[in-house]
């Protein structure tokens, strides 16, 4: 599933494009999940995501199976979102 998402986004060039930003945010959240999964951190916070909803939709089920929570903190007026990635066995 993620490979298909990455390959679709890889086809769209340009750092300023929506697809590029979406792909970048997907990689950032995947890296945060990997860091928490590895045990190197119990919590990672990402700030200023513009495409948190599709990214979280893509990654939430697998993260939960891995014992990781993806917690969005939405900004007012749909201006963006911060995301906290944390182990489920650690109190928030």
In percent, the amount of the chain with pLDDT more than 70 equals 80
Give the global pTM: 0.79
Q: Which of 2-6, 54-58, 81-85 has the lowest mean pLDDT?
A: 2-6
**What kind and span of H or E run contains 84?**
strand 81-87
Domain ranges of the chain: 2-87
* Angstrom distances, CA of residue 74 to CA of 6, 22, 34, 82: 25, 17, 23, 6
Pairwise CA distance, residues 62 & 69, whole Å: 10
Pairwise CA distance, residues 41 & 77, whole Å: 31
The model's pLDDT over 57-77, given as tens digits with 9 standing for 90+, comes to 999 999 999 999 999 999 988
């Amino acid at each position: 599933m993620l490979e298909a998402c990455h390959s679709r986004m890889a086809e769209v060039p340009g750092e300023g494009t929506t697809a590029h930003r979406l792909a970048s945010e997907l990689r950032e959240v995947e890296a945060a999940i990997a860091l928490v999964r590895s045990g190197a951190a119990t919590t990672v916070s990402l700030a200023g995501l513009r495409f948190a909803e599709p990214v979280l939709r893509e990654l939430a089920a697998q993260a939960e199976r891995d014992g990781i929570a993806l917690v969005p903190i939405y900004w007012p007026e749909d201006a963006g979102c911060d995301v906290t990635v944390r182990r489920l066995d650690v109190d928030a």
